[in-house]
Amino acid sequence: MFKILVINPGSTSTKLAVYEDKKSVWQFNVRHSIEDLDGFPDCMEQYDYRKSLIQKTLADNQMALHFDAVIGRGGLMKPLHSGVYEINKAMKTDLINATHRHACNLGCLIAADLASEIKGCKAFTADPVVVDEMSDDAHISGLPIMPHLSIFHALNHRATAMKYAESRGVSYEELNLIVCHLGGGISIAAHQHGRIIDVNNALDGEGPFSPERSGSLPAGQLVDLCFSGKLTKPQVMRLIAGRGGLVAHLGINDMEEAIDLIEANDEHAMRVVHAMVYGIAKEIGAKYVALGGRVDAILLTGGIAHSTYTVTLLRKMINFLAPIAIFPGENEMEALAFNAYRALSGEQEIRRYV
């Protein structure tokens, strides 16, 4: 039996799980408030804070550090193919020096650190956020020096798509799907026969705004803001990812709190949430076009998919496009664990990052 520790740092939480082979035996979600993270100007500075929290949580729950593998959510390194990768020095170097800063960069670093303290323990990652299978058309923007990048919730996208395919008794490669990860960040992708041919850059400001990201912004106004002298570059980047979206409008990053405001007759909260859902629907429409209108299903996943209010509103806008299936929450922990198990058991090739 293989014992596997799963670590998944997100923008507002650090999720932990322990699996024995393919069976989950323990799960824990450490939530981070805006106040918790405001003391760290750069998310990479959260390393010691998050690692200490992980160690304390494991100790508090009598989880001894005896694992065959530690697998962390993949971060913002070089574009690569989907699959399982053993964390090596090249990967750690690229994550530490990454231009794009996000909490997911910490997943591999903490996993490798913890695994190094355990005799015979492997450190893995799988389907990191930089999986890039986009078409040439999707990559090219109006400026050659600024191509569209593939940065999104690849792990949950692929896990959700495969779970849906299994439920229909077909292979993932047989289907055309639009998968919508609705969480702290929102990514919406066109999956064509097992390949993700188009997706918004969920980190850098493409697509709809989300609980804490600005989404696409008027380019001219953004340039004016950058050269106004009022904000530094890190402050502007923080507005795009971290302090944008619902946080900018309502001061909160929790969808349940936003719905509570609406139910308390807060008209401003209602307008902002409806605008966010409208943006999600428009992005789904764009991916419908990317697939030539041949879409087997639209899959809604991520934390916001738990929100009946939000899902009902979104359904009204998109139900004429294709059948809709809901997969509330994230399949990332299970997907990471299963990838680690297959790698340990020899069922799946372990790729080398270079």
Phi, psi of 60 (to 5 degrees): -65, -25
Q: 324 with 342, same domain?
A: no
User: Is 290 found in the same domain as 267?
Assistant: yes
Tell whether 143 is covered by a domain.
no
**188 lies in some domain:** yes
- Same domain? For 288 and 340 the reply is no
Q: Are residues 239 and 122 in the same domain?
A: no
**In this structure, what is the dihedral angle of CA atoms 66, 72, 78, 82, given to the nearest 10 degrees?**
100
Same domain, 205 and 293: yes
The reply to whether 247 falls in a domain is yes
341 and 259 in one domain? no
Same domain, 184 and 318: yes
User: What residues have CB less than 8 Å from 150, skipping those under 6 apart?
Assistant: 79, 130, 131, 132, 133, 134, 139, 196, 199, 201
Is 98 part of a structural domain of the chain? Answer: yes
Total count of domains within the chain = 2
The pLDDT of residue 32 = 84
Domain identity same for 309 and 343: no
pLDDT number for residue 10: 82
What pLDDT is recorded for position 244? 96
User: Is residue 281 within 8 Å of 300, Cβ to Cβ?
Assistant: no
The CA distance from 123 to 245, in Å, is: 35
Structural domain of residue 308, as residue ranges? Answer: 154-328
Per the domain annotation, does 139 fall within a domain? no
Low-confidence stretches of the chain (pLDDT < 70) are: none
CA 193 to chain CA centroid, nearest Å:
21
The CA-to-CA distance between both ends of the chain, in Å, stands at 31
Residues 183, 330: contact at Cβ < 8 Å? yes
Is there a single domain that holds both residue 128 and residue 202? Answer: no
Residues 174 and 215 in one domain: yes
Give every CB contact of residue 148 below 8 A, 6+ residues apart in sequence. 134, 138, 139, 140, 141, 201, 206
Q: Has residue 35 been placed in a domain?
A: yes
Q: pLDDT at position 203, please?
A: 83
CATH of the domain at 14: 3.30.420.40
Question: Is 268 exposed, middle or buried, given 0-12, 13-18 or 19+ CB atoms closer than 10 A?
Answer: exposed
146 within a domain of the structure (yes/no): no
Q: 282 with 338, same domain?
A: no
Q: Are residues 342 and 324 in the same domain?
A: no
Evaluate whether residue 137 is within a structural domain: no
